[in-house]
Amino acid sequence: MKLEKADSWDSLEKILAQIEALRRSAMERSGGSVSELLYRGHADSRWRLETTLERSVRHAVSLVDYYDFAKIAKPRIETFTNRSWNIPSYVEYSNWLKADNPPYPPFNFNAYDYFVYLRHHGFPSPLLDWTTSPYIAAFFAMNNPPIDAETVAIYVYWEYTGGGKISDRDKPAIHGLGPNVRSHPRHFLQQSQYTICTVMRDEKTFYAKHEEVVARGDTGQDRLWKIDIPTSVRIDFLQTLQKMNINSYSLFATEDSLLATLAVDIFLLNQRSMK
């Protein structure tokens, strides 16, 4: 992972342009796969790249065990929401993973939309959410940082850099899942995409930590940048993003997010003129 520092909006734009230039150069010289850049905003640069499943359960969880947890929750969710999901049975999913040529990476299955629903509504999830917009990532970084946070962070992830991607099953590997999934409207408002990290142990697939892949420092695939930005420029960033119509309401479209947007506009962005 490469660390960068930006102390203004202009310096952030410069760093983002340099990273995008690397991607465009790879597209021009390579006949292989070159993926788009994904971005993620952290309201505190001390936070790690962790899924909500990692933060909720400290031991490794296998794919079949997590699927069982998700299946247990399904009838209760359907009862209270009056929605239904047609997903494979536990046995079908387990057999799919244990096939003679098991799918790897193991994500192309019919329950993807259900997993995204769980992620969006707070159920512990192995999906790490990203956005294709660096400006949406900047908003999530700057919108509401903890009071003791001195810097926020924007992560930039580049999965396929031009060649084929090599994934040893006994080593953690990150897999992008793509944007095409039926989901909550904010999935599209936020230009969301998701990654998972998996590893094979004793012929069983487990969810693994993204940080383990980052620590290897691969340069031919799974490239990652972390851009630290001081919270002292928060108002400048939010004012710029507001001009782009990037705010809580545009990204969540709820009554609560409308009031949150008004609160920022009235109490934060106007505080200079109130002095």
pLDDT in tens, 63-109: 999 999 999 999 999 999 888 888 889 898 888 877 655 555 555 66
Kindly state whether residue 250 falls inside one of the protein's structural domains.
no
With a cut of 50, which residues of the chain have pLDDT below it?
273-275
Q: What is the pLDDT of residue 274?
A: 46
Q: How many angstroms separate the CA atoms of 273 and 159, rounded?
A: 44
- Residues 54, 91: Cα–Cα separation, whole Å: 25
pLDDT at position 113: 85
Count of structural domains, the chain:
1
Give CA–CA dist 236/158, Å, rounded. Answer: 28
Assigned domain for 28 exists: yes
Question: CA-CA distance, 224 to 212, in Å (whole number)?
Answer: 12
Looking at the domain assignment, is residue 57 inside a domain?
yes
What values do phi and psi take at 180, rounded to 5?
-85, 95
In a domain? residue 144: yes
Contact 141, 153 (CB under 8 A): yes
pLDDT value at position 69? Answer: 94
| 256 domain residue, yes or no | no
Flag whether 259 is in a domain. no
Helices and strands in the chain, H and E counts: 12, 8
pLDDT at residue 167 in the model: 66
The b/e string for 32-43 (b: 16+ C-beta within 10 A; e otherwise) is eebbebbbbbbb
What is the domain range of residue 140? Answer: 2-244
* Residue 251, domain member (yes or no): no
- The answer to whether residue 95 sits within a structural domain is yes
Contacts of residue 65, Cβ cutoff 8 Å, sequence gap at least 6: none
Rounded to whole angstroms, the Cα distance separating 158 from 213 reads 13
Q: Under 8 Å CB-to-CB from 195, ≥6 apart: which residues?
A: 38, 127, 128, 130, 157, 159, 174, 175, 176, 177, 210
For residue 1, give the nearest of 185, 199, 156 by alpha carbon. 156
% residues pLDDT > 90 (the chain): 48
CA nearest to 170, candidates 208, 196, 217: 208
